[in-house]
Chains A and B, each alone.
Chain A
Amino acid sequence: MNIFIFGLVNSVILALMASGFALVYGVSRLANFAHGALYILAGFATWLFLNRLGINYIGSIFLSIIIVSIIGGAIYRFLLIRVKGMPASEIIASLAIGIAIMELFRWRGFISEAYMLPPFVAGSVSIAGVVIDWQRLIIIGVGLAMMLSLWLFTHHTKVGLSLRAIAQDKHASMMSGIEPDRTAVIALAMGSALAGVAAVVILPLGNITVETGYMVLIDAIAVCIIGGLGSWAGVLAGAFLLGFSRILTAAFIGPHWQMVVVLLFIILTLILKPSGLLGRQKELEERV
């Protein structure tokens, strides 16, 4: 039971981290290597609003999510748009932007223990004999709500439908008057907002550190590769596979081996099924 609940929490955390990356890649085929940087940017922004500017907690959360999403959109609109269609340049440019953001925080001295966000609701609760704190339950709730609202957004709103259209067939959707650049800006803004949401719900579990940014980037990419790049169900499948296997490894072999398991899964995925668990559509295109 213990393993089941914490595996579930871990999986939802991974799904939250990866969803922003998957959205951006799915819509605009852009590997946003600044994802981890946007994640910790949201965390530090919330901390700054809360502790330096004295805005209340809910206000600072919303403000920082909005700011991160504007920054994400701006990164595409003003910077990455110029290297569109050149995968190597896209990767290098976004990685460089991400590193610049993260190392800027390190330089400003955001590396001490003091940077942590308070949990939304303190205390813990016991479910079926397992003691679990409220924050982890909130994470599960937010994760479910996010998946549901994303599904509703992409299936029942005009903007969401245009995002899906671009992801499915770029040329046909351009012919029906959908602008790929505008949808890419929206996708990046939304992806960054998702990173921000993930950050504000997950970061209260621990300290905010610069290294978190790199780890989030790795986790997000690992989930996306295992589940299949650009596939929604794949993100969920990858997150659950990775989340549960990490908890199982930590419980039965030792917490040190968690990273080895991630590595092993990625290598196995690339050897056995390079398009990921549920990524079918681009198999021909990506396999030479």
Chain B
Amino acid sequence: MDEKIRRRERLDRGIKVRTEGIYAISSWRGIAYTSLPTAAFVLGLLIIPLAVTSMTWQKIIIIACVFAFLALSFDFLAHFVGIVCLGGAFFTGVGGYISGVLNSAFGVPLVITIPIATIGGAVICTLFLLPCLPMRGIYFAIVSLMYPLLFARVIQALDIFGGTDGLPGLATFPNTWVELYLILPMILILTFGLRRLVNEDFGIVLRAIKDNDQAVRASNINITWYKMKAVFLGSAIGCFAGAYLAHLYGWVGISLFALDFSIFPIAATVVGGVGTLVGPVIGAIILTMFSEMLREFGPLRVVFYSLILAGLVILNTGGLVPYLQRKYYQFEHWIEI
């Protein structure tokens, strides 16, 4: 009976409790404590490109940001609406091709093609995904996984939009700084905008749909209509990433429908922390850098991040951001029981 069981207890830090609500502005220390994580994230993102000097790493940051967009879209759909979308590549492909076709066939400048591709692509994606929205279960995941593979095959087989060669010679951005400081503020706006959105009335309905769709239906709310709006938002984010990517490389091809764009953002979300919206961005940056370090392994990189993804999902780790949050807001100590 003398055996003592030790257990780790977590308690909120005093300063966290003190700075909740209006009391946050009672002291400079409190203000600093509450605003530090946000400030670190915002400044970190804006300063990274200045801190790295080489062109290669700036390009890597841009790619990380593109993946961050897709990861944000996945996280929003999966953890706030309950729609598991395995088709990030569908969004990038549709967005990229719309802006590519507009630019190469009609000579529309880049400042117009990207917004058109974002909105138009989102409309197209939503229409294609609409049939599986009233369904629960695995239909959405299956269908969204199939679309990019099928679309790539269709483009290849019918030889439309340049077929296998793609459409080269699109307009590109004037220089790297424009590329960087177009996408970085967008990421910040999206992250905080989405976080705001999921706490608004609209977001509350979405989260309710995730938790209990029958209850939402019983409240006389049209679930499909709400899901459709959420998918529109998610696919608009993805389509923007695709259109941006098309103009970044000055080329669109069926590689925009590649599985990388579906699986990598999911891995990034799981690494960064699911359902946090900040996590996917941080996860995308970490994972892109990791993947860059493994460049010499070539195709094996896909194996690496699939394994990371499978491992993290199976072990059900919370991800990086929840871990950091725990450390920041709480302290732990061992107690005997």
Q: Which residues of A contact B (CB under 8 A)?
A: 31, 33, 79-80, 82-83, 87-89, 91-93, 95-97, 99-100, 103-104, 106-107, 214-215, 218, 221-222, 225, 255-260, 262-263, 266-267, 270-271, 274, 285-288
- Do the beta carbons of B213 and A97 come within 8 Å of each other? no
| Beta-carbon nearest neighbor of B259 in chain A | A99
Chain B residues with CB under 8 A of A107: 297-300, 303
- Do the beta carbons of A274 and B135 come within 8 Å of each other? yes
- Do the beta carbons of B146 and A103 come within 8 Å of each other? no
Q: How far is the CA of A96 from the CA of B262 in the complex (A)?
A: 11
B223 within 8 A of A: yes
Q: How far is the CA of A91 from the CA of B135 in the complex (A)?
A: 16
Q: Which residues of B contact A (CB under 8 A)?
A: 78, 84, 86, 128, 131-132, 134-139, 141-143, 145-147, 149-150, 153-154, 157-158, 213-214, 217, 223-224, 259, 263, 266-267, 270, 297-300, 302-303, 306-307, 309-310, 313-316
- Do the beta carbons of A274 and B134 come within 8 Å of each other? yes
Q: How far is the CA of A263 from the CA of B149 in the complex (A)?
A: 11
Given A31-B141, A287-B134, A287-B136, also A103-B303 (CB < 8 A): yes
- Do the beta carbons of B214 and A288 come within 8 Å of each other? yes
| Beta-carbon nearest neighbor of A219 in chain B | B146
Given A288-B213, A288-B214, also A259-B136 (CB < 8 A): no
Q: How far is the CA of A225 from the CA of B139 in the complex (A)?
A: 8
Q: How far is the CA of A263 from the CA of B129 in the complex (A)?
A: 12
- Do the beta carbons of B298 and A270 come within 8 Å of each other? no
Q: How far is the CA of A79 from the CA of B303 in the complex (A)?
A: 17
Q: Provide 12 A-B residue pairs closer than 8 Å at the C-beta atoms, listed in order of the A residue.
A: A87-B137, A87-B138, A88-B141, A92-B310, A104-B303, A106-B302, A221-B142, A221-B146, A222-B146, A259-B150, A266-B146, A287-B135
- Do the beta carbons of B158 and A288 come within 8 Å of each other? no
| Beta-carbon nearest neighbor of B209 in chain A | A288
| Beta-carbon nearest neighbor of A82 in chain B | B314
Chain A residues with CB under 8 A of B314: 79-80, 82-83, 89, 93
| Beta-carbon nearest neighbor of A25 in chain B | B138
The contact of B158 among A93, A104, A218, A256, by CB within 8 Å, is A256
- Do the beta carbons of A214 and B136 come within 8 Å of each other? no
Chain B residues with CB under 8 A of A258: 157
Chain B residues with CB under 8 A of A266: 143, 146
A-B contact sample (18 more), CB < 8 A, given A107-B298, A215-B149, A259-B150 = A79-B310, A82-B314, A87-B138, A91-B86, A92-B84, A93-B313, A99-B306, A103-B299, A103-B302, A218-B150, A222-B146, A256-B157, A259-B154, A266-B143, A286-B135, A286-B136, A287-B136, A288-B213
| Beta-carbon nearest neighbor of A263 in chain B | B150
- Do the beta carbons of B263 and A83 come within 8 Å of each other? no
- Do the beta carbons of A87 and B84 come within 8 Å of each other? yes
Q: How far is the CA of A83 from the CA of B317 in the complex (A)?
A: 12
Q: Nearest chain B CB to A283's CB is how many angstroms away?
A: 11
Q: How far is the CA of A93 from the CA of B84 in the complex (A)?
A: 12
- Do the beta carbons of B302 and A99 come within 8 Å of each other? yes
Chain B residues with CB under 8 A of A263: 146-147, 150, 154
Q: How far is the CA of A127 from the CA of B170 in the complex (A)?
A: 54
Chain A residues with CB under 8 A of B298: 107
- Do the beta carbons of A103 and B143 come within 8 Å of each other? no
Q: How far is the CA of A80 from the CA of B136 in the complex (A)?
A: 21
- Do the beta carbons of B313 and A270 come within 8 Å of each other? no
- Do the beta carbons of A83 and B300 come within 8 Å of each other? no
Chain B residues with CB under 8 A of A88: 78, 84, 141
- Do the beta carbons of B145 and A95 come within 8 Å of each other? yes
Q: How far is the CA of A270 from the CA of B303 in the complex (A)?
A: 33
Q: How far is the CA of A25 from the CA of B299 in the complex (A)?
A: 31
| Beta-carbon nearest neighbor of A269 in chain B | B131
Chain A residues with CB under 8 A of B310: 79, 92-93, 96-97, 100
- Do the beta carbons of B138 and A99 come within 8 Å of each other? no
Q: How far is the CA of A84 from the CA of B142 in the complex (A)?
A: 18
Given A99-B259, A287-B134, also A225-B142 (CB < 8 A): yes
| Beta-carbon nearest neighbor of B270 in chain A | A92
Given A87-B138, A267-B131, A274-B135, also A96-B300 (CB < 8 A): no
Given A218-B149, A221-B142, also A99-B263 (CB < 8 A): yes
- Do the beta carbons of A260 and B154 come within 8 Å of each other? yes
| Beta-carbon nearest neighbor of A87 in chain B | B138
Chain A residues with CB under 8 A of B313: 83, 89, 92-93, 96
Chain A residues with CB under 8 A of B138: 31, 87, 91
Given A91-B138, A270-B139, also A96-B157 (CB < 8 A): no
Q: Nearest chain A CB to B270's CB is how many angstroms away?
A: 8
Chain B residues with CB under 8 A of A82: 314-316
- Which of B132, B307, B313 has the most C-beta atoms of chain A within 10 angstroms of its own C-beta? B313
Chain A residues with CB under 8 A of B303: 99-100, 103-104, 107
Chain B residues with CB under 8 A of A274: 134-135, 139
Q: How far is the CA of A260 from the CA of B128 in the complex (A)?
A: 13
| Beta-carbon nearest neighbor of B159 in chain A | A256
Q: How far is the CA of A211 from the CA of B180 in the complex (A)?
A: 35
Chain B residues with CB under 8 A of A218: 146, 149-150
Chain A residues with CB under 8 A of B158: 256-257
Chain A residues with CB under 8 A of B263: 95-96, 99
The contact of B132 among A92, A97, A256, A270, by CB within 8 Å, is A270
